[in-house]
Amino acid sequence: MRKVLLTGDRPTGQLHLGHFVGSLRNRVALQNSGDYDCFVMIADVQALTDNFKSPQKVRDNVYEVALDYLAVGLDPKKTTIFIQSLIPALAELTIYYMNLVTVARLQRNPTVKTEIQSKGFGKALPTGFLVYPISQAADITFCKAHVVPVGEDQLPMIEQTREIVRTFNSIYGDVLVEPEALIPSDEKSRRLPGITGNDTKMSKSLNNGIYLADDLDTLRAKVRQMYTDPGHLKVSDPGKIEGNTVFTYLDVFATDTAYVAELKEHYQRGGLGDVKVKGYLLEVLDGILAPIRQRRAEYAKDPAAVYEVLKEGTAYANEVAAATLAEVRAAMKIDYFG
């Protein structure tokens, strides 16, 4: 039997290059390997846990994220793309799993802990936000996923899911599958910095991102703004590679490593200007982004067709969920009428 793969994103904004190297391109490769039954979820319920006052934003971004998925090469013939809120079984599983997790354990989840601080919830922490890792366990287990390709920040979520699965199976019998996280093997791809410097991760909220939907002019402007070496004032000055975002990006995206090594050497020696290196980076990035941008524009011409993809994926996900739920209910002895 083929293994099952599931992953997803919160629809709170368009997807950017950080998502692309940290997760999207990996997903597309796994999809095309033919080794997995693939599910990719647009996690609107989870997005609402910290955006419940902005329903229109979440709704709009369900569509944007779907476009990004199709643009990078997720293929609805190979991958079930679906909307979380339209799978009622996920809410039901969440309720059952809640019994298996203490409040203290949720508060210790490192990702949740950082988010609570960064979002400034203080004492006004919504219950829905605190329990989203439980809902994420429902997302992963409804289709009995074996592997979950995600960014590094999601490791605590997978660990928490594994605990829930072990607890469930030990109480009710062997029904659920303990998933494994898959993170990019290449360390540099795990945490792409934003354009303002290597210390900060690319993130929507920090406004330092390059988006898959950015047009060429926007891309050019962002590359031009990119943080380099503030001490490299004249072209003839020797420049630093460490902490220089342009070189960090070249390491991640350029395939001609010999040429990159040559540029680095020249830059450190002096005589190579930022404008030239940035020109090359623009070429490299546009080589990756231009086909994505074109496919995105193509799909954007027919929004009804994009929604149809989501509708069909959601219908299939509901079938899979119904099968798992029947097993869960039987194991929990709440299958009263058979």
Q: Are 165 and 141 in contact (CB under 8 A)?
A: yes
Measured distance CA(48)–CA(41) in Å, rounded: 14
Q: How many CB atoms lie within 10 A of CB 99?
A: 11
User: Would you say 47 or 250 has its CB closer to ligand TRP?
Assistant: 47
- Is 94 in a helix, a strand, or coil? helix
The answer to the question of residue 64 lying near ligand TRP (CB under 6 A) is no
Cα separation of 139 and 93, whole Å?
9
Specify the stretch interacting with ligand TRP by CB under 6 A; choose among 8-16, 192-200, 267-275, 294-302: 8-16
* Min dist. Cβ of residue 111 to ligand TRP (A): 8
Contact range with ligand TRP by CB under 6 A, out of 88-96, 150-158, 293-301, 321-329: 150-158
Check residue 112 for interaction with ligand TRP (CB under 6 A).
no
Q: Pick from 5, 101, 134, 148: which binds ligand TRP (CB under 6 A)?
A: 148
Nearer to ligand TRP, 44 or 274 (CB): 44
| Per CB under 6 A, 140 contacts ligand TRP | yes
Which CB sits closer to ligand TRP, 157 or 292?
157
Structure tokens at 228: 């380099």
> Are 62 and 15 within 8 A, CB to CB?
no
Buried residues in 133-157 as b, exposed as e (16+ CB within 10 A): bbbbbbbbbbbbbbbbbbbbbbebb
Q: C-alpha angle 135/138/75, rounded to 5°?
A: 105
> Six-digit token pair at 271?
């005589």
Six token digits for residue 313: 């994926």
The least CB distance from residue 224 to ligand TRP, in Å, is 30
Contact assessment for residue 140 and residue 159, using Cβ atoms and an 8 Å cutoff? no
Give min distance, CB of 5 to ligand TRP, in A.
Answer: 10
Q: Which residues contact 305 (CB under 8 A, 6 or more apart)?
A: 299
Q: Check residue 139 for interaction with ligand TRP (CB under 6 A).
A: yes
Mask 16-55, x = binds ligand TRP (CB under 6 A)?
-------------------------x-x--x---------
Question: For residue 217, what is the enclosing H or E element?
Answer: helix 216-225
Question: 């390059």: which residue's tokens?
Answer: 210
The answer to whether residue 7 forms part of the interface with ligand TRP (CB under 6 A) is yes
176 touches ligand TRP (CB under 6 A): no
136 sits near ligand TRP (criterion: CB under 6 A): yes
* Least distance between ligand TRP and beta carbon 176 (Å): 14
Residues at the interface with ligand TRP (CB under 6 A): 6-10, 41, 43, 46, 136, 139-140, 148, 150, 154, 157
